[in-house]
Amino acid sequence: MANSIEANCLLCMQRSDIFRNLNDNELHSVNSCRVSIKYHQGEILFKQGSPCHDFVCITSGMVKLYLESESDKRIIIGFVKPVDYIFVPGAFTDKRHHFTAVACEETTACLVGSDVFQQIVEANSAFSSAFLNKISEQAIRMFEQLSSLTHKQMPGRIADVLLCLSQKIYNANPFVTSLSRQDIADMSGMTKESAIRIMKTFKDDNLIRTEGDLIELLNIPLLETISRNG
Amino acid sequence: MANSIEANCLLCMQRSDIFRNLNDNELHSVNSCRVSIKYHQGEILFKQGSPCHDFVCITSGMVKLYLESESDKRIIIGFVKPVDYIFVPGAFTDKRHHFTAVACEETTACLVGSDVFQQIVEANSAFSSAFLNKISEQAIRMFEQLSSLTHKQMPGRIADVLLCLSQKIYNANPFVTSLSRQDIADMSGMTKESAIRIMKTFKDDNLIRTEGDLIELLNIPLLETISRNG
DNA sequence: TTCAACCGATGATATAAATCATCAGCTTAA
DNA sequence: TTAAGCTGATGATTTATATCATCGGTTGAA
C-alpha cells in the first residue's frame, strides 16, 4: 500500500475513541482491508448520491460535508478533523451517500470496506453503542443548525458560524482558515455577497478582524448576544 | 397500573420491529418498568431542555416533535405514529431533551426508564444495530428537511409539506388532519399567513382542495414539480 | 504570456417574505 | 352569557435578502 501512512490501526486507536471497543480479531479485519489515501484541497472523497462502499476516517487535514440541491446550492452540514470518522447514514439504509465530502486542505483518510465495518457494528455492542453516542451528538448539532438557519436573520447566522469556527472547528482565536467566503455563506445559508456584507458590518463595529485567511473574534460576548437575538 | 392498555410488551412486539431483537429476560425488564399513559390533544409528553428519564413508544394517536427557539418560534422536525418510538438523542449524551413532543390528538404512549433501555442497547448488539438503522433514516430525513427549508422558496416548501403529509404521515389522499395552518407553517419554516397564502394559490390553481380538516391533493405531478423547482 | 476563472468587495435594484392590521367564526373559560 | 382567545383568511406595508452588475487581484491552465 503505497499511500499508507500508518502501519496498522493501533496508531489510530490511540486517538479515535470508538476503536477502543474493538478486540484484536476485529482490529485485524479492519486493518487488513484498510487503505490510506491522500487528497488534495478541493478533491472529492465521495459524492452525494453515489453508492457508499467505504467507511472513512480522517487522519490528517480537514474535510467539509455538504448537501447539494437541484439548483446547485450547497449547505455545509459539518467538518471532520483528525482523528475522526465520517458518519454515513446511508451505510445503514440505502447504501447511498446523502451528502458530499470534500477536502478543505491536504487530507489523508483511511478507508475500510463498509461490509467489514457493518459486521463489527452488528457483532460488537460496545462499538455500536459508542457509535450511537456519536450519532446522537451529530443529531443534536443538526437541530441547532436547523434552528439557526430557519429562525435567525443573517447577522445571527454569521455570528453562529464565526463562533463555531473559532470554538469548535479550529479551537483558536485568531484562527487561519482555508474556507472561502462562499464556504461561510454555505454554512450560514445565504449568498456569498450577503455573507461578505455582514462580515463587513462586523468589522466596522470592531466585532471581528480579518487579514487574509486569518479571522479574529474581538468581541465574543457581543457576538454571542447577536447569535442569541437572531 | 390504571392507564395501562397492554398487559405486556408482547403485543407491541408484533408491530414495532426493533423489539424483535430482545430476548425474554430483556423483554421482562422492559415490561416490568413500563407505564402506559394517555395524553389529550395538545398535551406535552416532554419539553425541550428538560431531563430525559424515559424511553417513549407511541401506541395510539400521533405526536409532533418540534424545536423551540429563543424567539418562541417553532420548527416541526417530525411526527411519531403507532407503533413507533421517539428517538431522543439526548439519552445518549447529556440526558436532556433537545426538542419538545406534543400529542397532536388523543395519544397513548408506553414509557420505559431510559436506564433500563440504555443497558439493553449496550448489551444487545442486534438491538443497537437496529436502532442505528432507525437513526440513520431519521438523519437522512433531517438532511432533506434542511435542504428544503434553506434552499426552496415558499411554494416548494409547502408542496414538500403537503406531499409528506399525504405520502408519509397519513398514507392517504384525501386525508383528514388535526394539524392547524400554524403547524403547517411550522413544518415549512414560514409564518402562518404565508402558509395560508401559498395554500390559497394552490387552491386557486386546482392543485389542492381543502374542506375543513380535509386536504386533497388534486395534481400530485405538478406539486412534485413545484417541490423540485423550489 | 495571455486568457479564463474564481475570489473578495461593493453598489443598485428587485423581490420574497415577514409584519401589521383587520375581520368573522368558533371554542373555551369566567 | 359574555368575554377572551385561537383559527382561517385577506389586504397593505415594510424589510430582509437575493440578484445583477462591476471591479481589481490572484491563480491556474492553455
Give the per-residue pLDDT at B128. 84
Q: Is the pLDDT of residue B18 over 50?
A: yes
A182 vs B130, residue with greater confidence: A182
Cα distance between residue A183 and residue B84, in whole Å: 38
Give the per-residue pLDDT at B3. 43
Quick check: B129 and A121 CB within 8 A?
yes
Q: How confident is the model at residue A229 (pLDDT cuts 50, 70, 90)?
A: confident
Give the per-residue pLDDT at B6. 55
Q: Is the pLDDT of residue A146 over 90?
A: yes
Lowest model confidence (mean pLDDT) among B76-90, B125-139, B171-185: B125-139
Q: Which three cell numbers stand for residue A126?
A: 460496545
For residues A150 and A200, the answer to whether their CB atoms sit within 8 Å is no
- R_g of chain A computed on alpha carbons: 19
User: DSSP state, A33?
Assistant: T
Give the per-residue pLDDT at B4. 46
Q: How far is CA B40 from CA A59, A136, B78, in A?
A: 51, 29, 19
A146 touching B (Cβ < 8 Å): yes
Element containing residue B39 per DSSP (H, E): strand B35-39
Q: How far is CA A191 from CA A73, A130, A186, A194, B17, in A?
A: 9, 37, 8, 5, 44
Residue A218 phi/psi, 5-degree rounding, is: -95, -25
For residues B125 and A122, the answer to whether their CB atoms sit within 8 Å is yes
B96 vs B21, residue with greater confidence: B96
Coil, strand or helix: which one is B111?
A: strand
Give the torsion through C-alpha atoms of A215, A221, A223, A224, to 10 deg: 120
Question: Mean pLDDT, to the nearest integer, of A154-177?
Answer: 96
Q: Which three cell numbers stand for residue B171?
A: 398514507
Task: List, for residues A36-80, the tens digit of each pLDDT value.
Answer: 999 999 999 999 999 999 999 999 999 999 999 888 899 999 999
A92 touching B (Cβ < 8 Å): yes
Task: List, for residues A183-208, the tens digit of each pLDDT value.
Answer: 999 999 999 999 999 999 999 999 99
Give the per-residue pLDDT at A128. 84
B10 vs B164, residue with greater confidence: B164
Question: Mean pLDDT, to the nearest integer, of B148-174?
Answer: 95
Cα distance between residue B183 and residue B76, in whole Å: 8
Q: Is the pLDDT of residue A3 over 90?
A: no
- Any atom of strand C under 7 A from CB of A149? no
Task: List, for residues A83-95, the tens digit of each pLDDT value.
Answer: 899 999 999 899 9
Quick check: A128 and B123 CB within 8 A?
no
Give the per-residue pLDDT at A202. 96
Positions of strand D less than 7 angstroms from a protein CB: 6-12, 16-21
Q: How confident is the model at residue B24 (pLDDT cuts 50, 70, 90)?
A: confident
Residue A40 phi/psi, 5-degree rounding, is: -85, 160
Judged on CB neighbours under 10 Å (0-12, 13-18, 19+), B188 is: buried
CA B188, B191, B193: angle at the middle one, nearest 5? 115
Q: Which three cell numbers stand for residue B89?
A: 438523542
Residue B103 phi/psi, 5-degree rounding, is: -70, 125
Coil, strand or helix: which one is A226?
A: helix
Name which of B86, B99, B146 to mutate to probe chain A: the one with the most chain A Cβ atoms within 10 A of its Cβ.
B146
Q: Is the pLDDT of residue B74 over 60?
A: yes
Question: Mean pLDDT, to the nearest integer, of B5-29?
Answer: 76
Question: Mean pLDDT, to the nearest integer, of A8-12?
Answer: 74
User: DSSP state, B20?
Assistant: G
* Residue type (1 letter), B132: L
Lowest model confidence (mean pLDDT) among A8-12, A97-101, B169-173, B175-179: A8-12
Domains of chain A: 10-134 (2.60.120.10), 152-229 (1.10.10.10)
C1' (D1) to CA (B40) span, angstroms: 28
All residues at 6 or more sequence positions from A59 whose CB lies less than 8 Å from its CB, including other chains: A5, A6, A12, A36, A82, A83, A108, A109, A110
Contacts of A133 in chain B (CB under 8 A): 92-93
What are residue A112's DSSP bridge partners? A55
Query: Which residue shows C-alpha cell 456584507?
Result: A197
Q: How confident is the model at residue A6 (pLDDT cuts 50, 70, 90)?
A: low
Question: Mean pLDDT, to the nearest integer, of B99-126?
Answer: 89
Q: Is-cis flag, bond preceding B112, omega within 30?
A: no
Q: Is the pLDDT of residue A225 over 90?
A: yes
Quick check: B123 and A125 CB within 8 A?
yes
Question: Mean pLDDT, to the nearest integer, of B130-134?
Answer: 87
Q: How confident is the model at residue B22 (pLDDT cuts 50, 70, 90)?
A: confident
Cα distance between residue A158 and residue A196, in whole Å: 10
Give the per-residue pLDDT at A154. 96
Give the per-residue pLDDT at A8. 76
Q: How confident is the model at residue A14 (pLDDT cuts 50, 70, 90)?
A: low
For residues B23 and B91, the answer to whether their CB atoms sit within 8 Å is no
Q: How confident is the model at residue B122 (pLDDT cuts 50, 70, 90)?
A: confident
Q: How confident is the model at residue A2 (pLDDT cuts 50, 70, 90)?
A: very low
Contacts of B228 in chain A (CB under 8 A): 70
Give the per-residue pLDDT at B7. 65
All residues at 6 or more sequence positions from B49 whose CB lies less than 8 Å from its CB, including other chains: B96, B97
Positions of strand C less than 7 angstroms from a protein CB: 6-12, 16-21
Q: Is the pLDDT of residue B17 over 80?
A: no
Cα distance between residue A79 and residue A86, in whole Å: 9
Q: How far is CA A211 from CA A12, A198, B202, in A?
A: 35, 16, 50
Q: Is the pLDDT of residue A176 over 50?
A: yes
- Any atom of strand C under 7 A from CB of A199? yes
